[in-house]
Structure 1
């Protein structure tokens, strides 16, 4: 954000606003952490603010302070639409294209409000009047901390804000192991701990509350893993039938894709998950080093994201999707062996 944009935000927040804060569909830890962190900050300023999520999110994120005040667009549709229509200021966090919010898209497109985007993904759209985009940041939660800092509000960060932002940074950096984790990230984390983030408890709430069904599903996923050493690639498939057999709940497959990267010599990992309700195969891509899964997902699977973490989808069966995926790999041999 430049000096002019910072002053514009300060001017907007110097007056009473009706604020709506929105994350992407199927929100993850960074999306929920950043929206709730910003929500606490704005509420503490005296602003009338609400968080509206497009749909439900995993149980292991529902411990965050303020979770009970989140409005689910699917479950409280009338209330959500009313708040959006009355909003004077809308923050969109952890996404940069309105196509990422599902059925909420038309509501936001018709909203008579000033938009502020805070996001760290590549190629942002231009729907916002104020765009804070930085692909070098580890997470949107780190960006929200920086946003608060630029507004001169770091001293106003409470333990509630600190816990939310810590959770989002931790999850989006893979517990601080991804390349996006910088010395700045660690300095932000240190300050959040100083301000009350309970790092051990947060880790436990997110990573150590598994159900037996989820661990059995993980076993199924690992059994399904295909390893293509020639292309330094590993992929996992999960059918709808397998999900149902293991009592799948939203968020149960979170992190499964990363297991492929724990194999010696593997730099490209993928998971293909069937979703019969939406009629798609949901795909997550991960890589280490210089192989850009963002470019790969954008070119072949209607997706995108970051250089080392991206998503996409397919409209054909798992068998057809994986066959197509494998057919692409010979074209990337030189990039996979850099």
Structure 2
């Protein structure tokens, strides 16, 4: 294991560094990765961000996004970079299975592995860990790592600030979740002072939908929404045919579950979608309801209390029915 002094010494001279994050990266995954990347290159490190898969187009504007290597498109190059790395930063995930085929390569690498994350129950594959389940985003932890552990606030330029602001904004649901503490707001204020243009970032992330995405959202709300008043639960289930009909792209389904949760009497919302290889679930909840417990216990997943995900190899209809049969177990919690 590395201690902070040893890690600081390693980072004191240029190193070959890989930064990676979970598959189908979201705003926090790419914001934290590119935030760290933009910090490291200022010090002369030979850093590369490798994403296991593609990610939403509404994140393509992030500073230095053009430098990102996507494993599924450049597997040979990615493997060579991982094999040659001296340090691998693992951001916004805590199990090597979350980076798909790359997990084997990272696990076998002799590089020091640094985990920076806020998810429950991390695996022991890392050599250094900056981990806090109470953080609202991994981007918050990157800020803390740079400012309070490495003491390099002066290296948070506008590019770093923009990336980290994006990560915090998206993972806190625009600063609406309970873990958006006063500390988070102070960090965000500092990032604005350091060059993050908050209103512009919001525009680029949330006001860049395509016509297909809006029509797909309308279809989901008009035709796929099912409300179960007895359990204060709402379900949106979408089949693969509709994904093709509306030409749904990576990221187009993100956030749809929140529309179901926005209803006044709904405490638990599920977005269940049929993909080509499996059925995926995204759960969101209010208050103390443990959405992550359902995902971990029944759908081979996990996450945070109010935001979690899972998957199943069963059919869409079977998964929806399974989800419904679970609800009586949680009826008391759902009716509190």
Bucket of the pairwise TM-score, normalised by the shorter protein: over 0.9
For the 8 Å contact 2:39–2:155, the answer to whether it is kept is yes
Deviation string, structure 1 residues 232-287 (Cα, Å, up to 9, x no partner): 100101110001000111000110001111101111001001101x2x10110100
How far apart are 1:16 and its partner, in Å? 2.6
Aligned pair 1:220/2:219, yes or no?
Answer: yes
How far apart are 1:142 and its partner, in Å? 0.4
Aligned pair 1:327/2:325, yes or no?
Answer: yes
Deviates more, 1:111-120 or 1:73-82: 73-82
For the 8 Å contact 2:118–2:137, the answer to whether it is kept is yes
Partner of 2:250: 250
Aligned pair 1:13/2:7, yes or no?
Answer: no
Partner of 2:186: 187
How far apart are 1:296 and its partner, in Å? 1.2
Q: In structure 1, how many angstroms separate the alpha carbons of the residues matched to 2:134 and 2:10?
A: 27
How far apart are 1:5 and its partner, in Å? 3.0
The DSSP-based 3-state class of the residue aligned with 2:3 is helix
For the 8 Å contact 2:15–2:46, the answer to whether it is kept is yes
Q: Aligned runs of 1:205-216 on 2, under 5 Å?
A: 205-216=204-215
For the 8 Å contact 2:135–2:179, the answer to whether it is kept is yes
Q: Aligned runs of 1:274-313 on 2, under 5 Å?
A: 274-276=274-276, 278=277, 280-313=278-311
Deviation string, structure 1 residues 8-51 (Cα, Å, up to 9, x no partner): 22111013311000010000000000000000111111111110
Partner of 1:259: 259
The DSSP-based 3-state class of the residue aligned with 1:91 is strand
For the 8 Å contact 2:292–2:302, the answer to whether it is kept is yes
The DSSP-based 3-state class of the residue aligned with 1:15 is coil
Q: In structure 2, how many angstroms separate the alpha carbons of the residues matched to 1:180 and 1:244?
A: 36
Deviation string, structure 1 residues 52-93 (Cα, Å, up to 9, x no partner): 010110100000001000011111122111110000100000
Aligned pair 1:131/2:142, yes or no?
Answer: no
How far apart are 1:295 and its partner, in Å? 1.1
The DSSP-based 3-state class of the residue aligned with 1:78 is helix
Q: In structure 2, how many angstroms separate the alpha carbons of the residues matched to 1:225 and 1:252?
A: 17
Q: Aligned runs of 1:1-338 on 2, under 5 Å?
A: 5-149=3-147, 150-223=149-222, 224-276=224-276, 278=277, 280-338=278-336
Q: In structure 2, how many angstroms separate the alpha carbons of the residues matched to 1:137 and 1:5?
A: 21
Q: Gaps (5+ residues) in structure 2? A: none
How far apart are 1:337 and its partner, in Å? 1.9
Deviates more, 1:7-16 or 1:229-238: 7-16
The DSSP-based 3-state class of the residue aligned with 1:284 is strand
For the 8 Å contact 2:261–2:285, the answer to whether it is kept is yes
Q: In structure 2, how many angstroms separate the alpha carbons of the residues matched to 1:9 and 1:231?
A: 49
Deviates more, 1:74-83 or 1:174-183: 74-83
Deviation string, structure 1 residues 177-197 (Cα, Å, up to 9, x no partner): 011101000000000000000
TM-score, length-scaled by structure 2: 0.98
- Runs of 4+ that moved beyond 4 A: none
Q: In structure 1, how many angstroms separate the alpha carbons of the residues matched to 2:61 and 2:18?
A: 21
Aligned length: 333
The CA RMSD measured in Å over matched residues stands at 0.9
Deviation string, structure 1 residues 172-226 (Cα, Å, up to 9, x no partner): 0000001110100000000000000011111011110111100010011112111
